[in-house]
Amino acid sequence: MENSSLNPTQLHLLKMFSFNNSEEYAREIQEVLTKHFQKRLDAEADRLWDEGILDQKRLDEINKMDLHKLK
């Protein structure tokens, strides 16, 4: 088994969760993180679309791919 250490972001999240371990708090943090990364993903997709890198044809190709096999 490979031994790995936590990165600074992971350490910060652990510290945040150590103060309040309620299920409600965990859901709230999950929602905040989900919204944050969704905004970043949307902005990047918009950029790729505007630059002509991403289009409907490419989206259709990606939709047919087995993304679990990508590594």
pLDDT in tens, 25-67: 889 988 999 999 999 999 999 999 999 999 999 999 999 999 8
* pLDDT score, position 2: 63
* pLDDT score, position 56: 96
Q: How many CB atoms lie within 10 A of CB 54?
A: 16
Average pLDDT over residues 10-29: 85
Closest-CA residue to 48 (of 69, 40, 64): 40
* pLDDT score, position 29: 86
Q: How far apart (Å, rounded) are the C-alpha atoms in residues 11 and 13?
A: 5
| Residue 65 in tokens | 């791919």
Q: What is the pTM of this model?
A: 0.66
pLDDT band at 3 (very low <50, low <70, confident <90, very high): low
Write down the domain spans for the chain.
8-69
